[in-house]
Chain A
């Protein structure tokens, strides 16, 4: 009995010390960067950190890896995809790894302001030299390159472009409400008339899901009411959040929310899109990744669903982009360079975007390679005014977006009135 107890204690002690040892050994140090990370370096492998673990995103990544294998056969691709929470699980892990100086060779991030925190923290290398080397400055639209440039430096390479201001509709529901499914809505006021009719027919007029999709709706309303310049001014301080035109936009947003389904906070975007597919709701505002959901359900436009820019935002392309970075202290910078070359090449972008449903950032992609919706998006991207999406990290840093989301949830659940909402938004944008 006694010996057994001693044995157990020894085992427990040993187990504990093993834990201690592993805890100590995991923090291996990295050579600090010399600032020239864009040049050369170990290209034997590349660990690519993404949240593309399922669905059309995984198909896109697979297509990209295939092109990568052809272009850079000597570099081994290591898939660092982390599933869960629409990227929030991956971002959590990434934050920890960067903090511990153990960065992946490259990681996925929305291009634009979402990178600001990493840039401020000195965790990203400037890759503008690669833009010159790969000829990207000319291949990408100037509007886009301007939006990616921070103090003359560029910190990521976009692999694809999405559009956030798309309105989807169910022709069956619209016909049932006595509306012309092919009608175009030029202004929010025109749209309200149609929404009223759908509501009167007993269907959900506008389907929406949890807070971030409400923020997505909010940003399109802000674009519609303030115009491209006014909306962009919200993020550089030239538009006053407390102004009366913002009040007008928030009033419109409040009105739009009154047409929505009551179970919205428990849903995510596929559920809201599904309501259009199933003919339970008339309209839905969502980014163009919804196209993949319609396709998966075997639906065809314009018989089963229709799309157009959110009323009042025609001629404006509310963009967001996935992009890849070169973290400071990456172990295989050569591999990262190879990866960035593939994802920015015409072949890489074509293969990836065909599978994912988004469009290439390059202006030399051939539209005929893509689906009908994508062709319209490519055409718009080429000629529209480009603005940055708020809900997807292009327009504002994470802290601002979180504060705006909190304020929006507070407003749409009825805990604050419109005046308080506007105050909360102004405070969020000011970073207080």
Chain B
């Protein structure tokens, strides 16, 4: 017993502050949030106890998930995530592959691709709001004006003001910002493949393409998985970029995180909390299998 204590005591003592902090400020608050989401706290008077609040179980979830407006937000979220994920994976992979071959000024290119990540979503959103101006023809500005200048008039469109797919336009700046990061991940993956394997492939007489296709690409799947998880969970929480390009009231760019903000500002804490829980569940569906998978591979290793 004292021996165990001596062994486990000090480390436990050291990590206990963070354990307590996590317990209270993450899991404790998650629990309170989940509880709020199952009450009928829809008005300001209830938040201060002036009017009674009762427990309504899953009513708020039912109301939200059957409301056409919230379904529209969820649909937007799916479109945004698909475009954002697809775009970053495609460009990140492509750039990493190009840089994997011996290229002159590799460092310069790497920095150029990686730099956008250093800009905050809010700052780039302000610039992209102007670039993605939806005016066409005479009043056009931003990208639409650019298309006119290079004679690609047919490419002009109303960007994020399209009521069905406008949200995909918001993914463009997000792709621009995060492709470099995915590139860095993939580049590390490429570099992690031992030189011996490449040499062996060459000895066996494979062409460059065959070497990539059968030797190197298969070894990148763990990297690809990590990239999908990292970019995917960022995409599901999309808020700041949308807020700085569009406005919370704009129907065409509604996503659940924006709904949560609007509910909260209307003192509708129950629905805001319910949206939060729904988002948490969606992210968990993505992340938990990944963590389980990681845990297993670590044990096997």
Q: Is B truly associated with A?
A: yes
Instruction: Judge whether A262 and B14 touch: CB under 8 Å.
Output: no
- List which A122-137 residues lie within 8 A (CB) of chain B: 122-123
**Residue from B21, B163, B246, B265 in contact with A415 in the complex, judged by beta carbons closer than 8 Å:** B163
Measured between beta carbons, the chain A residues less than 8 angstroms from B268 are 399
Is there a chain A Cβ closer than 8 Å to B33's Cβ?
Answer: no
CA distance A87 to B14 in the complex (A): 44
Instruction: Judge whether A16 and B17 touch: CB under 8 Å.
Output: yes
Is there a chain A Cβ closer than 8 Å to B217's Cβ?
Answer: no
Report the nearest A residue to B266, measured CB to CB.
A399
CA distance A171 to B257 in the complex (A): 44
Measured between beta carbons, the chain A residues less than 8 angstroms from B251 are 406, 409-410, 413, 415
CA distance A19 to B250 in the complex (A): 38
Stretch of B46-54, B77-85, B107-115, B228-236 lying at the A interface? B46-54
Closest chain-B Cβ to A32's Cβ sits at a distance in Å of 12
Report the nearest A residue to B136, measured CB to CB.
A262
Closest chain-A Cβ to B60's Cβ sits at a distance in Å of 14
Measured between beta carbons, the chain A residues less than 8 angstroms from B264 are 95
Residue-wise interface mask of B (10-50) relative to A, using a CB-CB cutoff of 8 A (1 in contact, 0 not): 00011111101100110000000000000000011101101
| Total chain A interface residues with beta-carbon distance under 8 A | 43
- List which A379-432 residues lie within 8 A (CB) of chain B: 398-399, 402-403, 405-406, 408-410, 413-415
Residue-wise interface mask of A (191-222) relative to B, using a CB-CB cutoff of 8 A (1 in contact, 0 not): 00000000000101000001110000000000
Measured between beta carbons, the chain B residues less than 8 angstroms from A261 are 135, 139
Instruction: Judge whether A13 and B15 touch: CB under 8 Å.
Output: yes
Residue-wise interface mask of A (99-110) relative to B, using a CB-CB cutoff of 8 A (1 in contact, 0 not): 100000000000
Is there a chain A Cβ closer than 8 Å to B237's Cβ?
Answer: no
CA distance A210 to B243 in the complex (A): 13
- List which B250-301 residues lie within 8 A (CB) of chain A: 250-252, 262, 264-268
Measured between beta carbons, the chain A residues less than 8 angstroms from B163 are 413-415
Is there a chain A Cβ closer than 8 Å to B65's Cβ?
Answer: no
Instruction: Judge whether B249 and A266 touch: CB under 8 Å.
Output: no
Closest chain-A Cβ to B218's Cβ sits at a distance in Å of 37
Residue-wise interface mask of A (352-392) relative to B, using a CB-CB cutoff of 8 A (1 in contact, 0 not): 00000000000000000000000000000000000000000
Measured between beta carbons, the chain B residues less than 8 angstroms from A406 are 69, 249, 251, 262
Is there a chain A Cβ closer than 8 Å to B138's Cβ?
Answer: yes
Measured between beta carbons, the chain A residues less than 8 angstroms from B51 are 120
Is there a chain B Cβ closer than 8 Å to A70's Cβ?
Answer: no
Closest chain-A Cβ to B160's Cβ sits at a distance in Å of 8
Is there a chain B Cβ closer than 8 Å to A183's Cβ?
Answer: no
Instruction: Judge whether A20 and B21 touch: CB under 8 Å.
Output: yes
Closest chain-B Cβ to A291's Cβ sits at a distance in Å of 24
Is there a chain A Cβ closer than 8 Å to B179's Cβ?
Answer: no
Closest chain-A Cβ to B121's Cβ sits at a distance in Å of 16
Given contacts A122-B48, A210-B247, contact A398 B136 (CB under 8 A): no
Is there a chain B Cβ closer than 8 Å to A44's Cβ?
Answer: no
CA distance A212 to B248 in the complex (A): 11
Measured between beta carbons, the chain B residues less than 8 angstroms from A210 are 247, 249-250
Report the nearest A residue to B245, measured CB to CB.
A266
Closest chain-B Cβ to A150's Cβ sits at a distance in Å of 13
Measured between beta carbons, the chain B residues less than 8 angstroms from A16 are 17-18, 21
Instruction: Judge whether A409 and B250 touch: CB under 8 Å.
Output: yes
Instruction: Judge whether B50 and A19 touch: CB under 8 Å.
Output: no
Measured between beta carbons, the chain A residues less than 8 angstroms from B134 are 262-263, 265-266
Measured between beta carbons, the chain B residues less than 8 angstroms from A23 are 25
Measured between beta carbons, the chain B residues less than 8 angstroms from A414 are 163
Measured between beta carbons, the chain B residues less than 8 angstroms from A410 are 69, 251
CA distance A53 to B47 in the complex (A): 29
Measured between beta carbons, the chain B residues less than 8 angstroms from A99 are 47-48
Measured between beta carbons, the chain A residues less than 8 angstroms from B246 are 265-266
Measured between beta carbons, the chain A residues less than 8 angstroms from B24 are 20
- List which B104-144 residues lie within 8 A (CB) of chain A: 129, 132-136, 138-139
Measured between beta carbons, the chain B residues less than 8 angstroms from A78 are none
| Total chain B interface residues with beta-carbon distance under 8 A | 44
Instruction: Judge whether A409 and B249 touch: CB under 8 Å.
Output: yes
**Residue from A19, A202, A280 in contact with B21 in the complex, judged by beta carbons closer than 8 Å:** A19
CA distance A263 to B16 in the complex (A): 54
Is there a chain B Cβ closer than 8 Å to A83's Cβ?
Answer: no
Is there a chain A Cβ closer than 8 Å to B226's Cβ?
Answer: no
Is there a chain A Cβ closer than 8 Å to B88's Cβ?
Answer: no
**Residue from B13, B17, B25, B250 in contact with A265 in the complex, judged by beta carbons closer than 8 Å:** B250
Closest chain-B Cβ to A280's Cβ sits at a distance in Å of 7
Is there a chain A Cβ closer than 8 Å to B158's Cβ?
Answer: yes
Measured between beta carbons, the chain B residues less than 8 angstroms from A120 are 43-45, 50-51
Instruction: Judge whether A121 and B135 touch: CB under 8 Å.
Output: no
**Residue from A13, A202, A266, A415 in contact with B14 in the complex, judged by beta carbons closer than 8 Å:** A13
CA distance A406 to B265 in the complex (A): 13
Closest chain-B Cβ to A405's Cβ sits at a distance in Å of 4
Measured between beta carbons, the chain A residues less than 8 angstroms from B136 are 262
Instruction: Judge whether A398 and B47 touch: CB under 8 Å.
Output: no
Measured between beta carbons, the chain B residues less than 8 angstroms from A19 are 21
Measured between beta carbons, the chain B residues less than 8 angstroms from A95 are 264-265, 267
Is there a chain A Cβ closer than 8 Å to B177's Cβ?
Answer: no
Closest chain-A Cβ to B124's Cβ sits at a distance in Å of 15
Report the nearest B residue to A12, measured CB to CB.
B18
CA distance A92 to B262 in the complex (A): 11
- List which A306-339 residues lie within 8 A (CB) of chain B: none
Selected A-B contacts with CB under 8 Å, 20 pairs: A9-B14, A12-B18, A20-B17, A95-B264, A121-B45, A121-B267, A123-B48, A211-B249, A262-B134, A265-B134, A265-B247, A265-B250, A280-B139, A398-B267, A399-B43, A406-B69, A409-B252, A413-B163, A413-B252, A415-B72
Residues of B at the A interface (CB closer than 8 Å) are: 13-18, 20-21, 24-25, 43-45, 47-48, 50-51, 69, 72, 129, 132-136, 138-139, 158, 160-161, 163, 245-247, 249-252, 262, 264-268
Closest 6 pairs (CB-CB, A-B) = A117-B44, A120-B45, A211-B249, A16-B17, A399-B266, A409-B251
